Structure 1
């Protein structure tokens, strides 16, 4: 089994509301993170590359693999993250909320970020053409395990269809909004034709992880380079694969709307 850290970023920007600040990494810090990956010999791959290695349908992973993923599809990915990734020749996977392309992040109204700009279709097309793997992140970013079966299916299927129609390329991977999913939602993602799905968990993934529940490590605004290095090595993190009933008290606290307790308690709240 090979340990594989999957990093989860959201917005790369200097400005953010107080409630959204934890999920906004400054461009300078993001550049320092990527410089560290390069200096330490990490070899970034896409989610689909990991899925292929894990299922035996693709080549083995390189030594010191790492995945750099982004949720939501904020416009600052194009302006702040992509140039840094390209400078290092790093591939990445970007999960896009299809219903907000060309609009603003209306689901973040309560966080004071309803006007945060999302990628336009032209920007997203440019991102895809420059080698970034694009995946689906639902159509309007609901908690899929808290809405009806039919509504959840529509969110999953519609996001794939809309993105494929506009980008004219297959959507192989899905990311659960907020990281929340259960057996029903997982099966709906499988049935929709995706080959993998990213969860959150704030944990270390591996080549034996569930490819429809890949664990990711949340990168926050205050994740320093030394702290990132500890996370990349798995210090203090659970390790995939997990027992089928793996749940923590922190996870249950998040579902009740409690905002503190541990890094895991912040798991995927805005993912």
Structure 2
């Protein structure tokens, strides 16, 4: 984003939000959990200075709906405090890692002081979703200029994300079964 996307966004006058997992950024809070080369805090500050909103994305990028209440709050608070400390502004937006949330997670995000939160959903955000369940679309490295234009205009979303939606629904079902199994205490097979 820092090198390639920022100039394009600025050239078109597009606002943007970068959601950061504070334990994955290179620097004093790096927990080594990032999946590859990540931005460092100087780059994040540069993006913020260029008008990019910096939002929270947890500290270590866990599946928040699988955490106990104490660990959930620690992930949310630590992320918010580190972003505030590094940038001098409190993040207003949050994106759920992997897009997963639950009523309990959404309540914790609200109580932590975030004004809004986004899941994946691969559809456009609508007022009826409420501020803590806003949907967003996925823009990948492979997204062409024409596909991006259709996404921005809200056209062809159903076709563009049909496969993603099917996979998301299937995996949601698998996760619900696993959670139910865990609640009744069955060992893994």
**TM-score tier (shorter):** 0.7 to 0.9
Q: Which of 15, 20, 30 is the equivalent residue of 1:91?
A: 15
Aligned positions, number = 166
CA distance in 2, matches of 1:209, 1:176: 15
CA contact (8 A) 1:175 1:199 kept: yes
Quick one: distance in 2 between partners of 1:100 and 1:236? 31
Q: Which runs of 5+ in 1 are unaligned?
A: 1-76, 109-113, 239-247, 258-271
Distance 1:182 1:219 in 2: 24
Q: Which runs of 4+ in 1 moved over 6 A?
A: none
Query: Partner of 2:53 in structure 1?
Result: 133
What is the distance in 2 between the residues matched to 1:144 and 1:215?
A: 17
* 1:124 aligns to 2:29 (yes or no): no
Higher fraction of helix:
2
Does residue 4 of structure 2 align to residue 80 of structure 1?
A: yes
| 2:85 aligned residue | 165
Distance 1:96 1:223, change over 3 A: same
* Bigger strand share: 1
- Distance change (3 Å), C-alpha of 1:92 and 1:249: closer
**Residues 170-189 of structure 1 correspond to what in structure 2 (within 5 A)?**
170-189=90-109
Cα offset, 1:249, TM superposition = 6.2
Q: Structure 2: which 5+ runs fail to align?
A: 160-164, 176-189
How many Å apart are 1:186 and its aligned residue? Answer: 0.3
Instruction: Using CA pairs under 8 Å that are at least 6 residues apart, name the structure with larger relative contact order, 1 or 2.
Output: 1
Q: Which residue of 2 aligns with 1:211?
A: 131
- Displacement after TM superposition at 1:138 (Å): 0.1
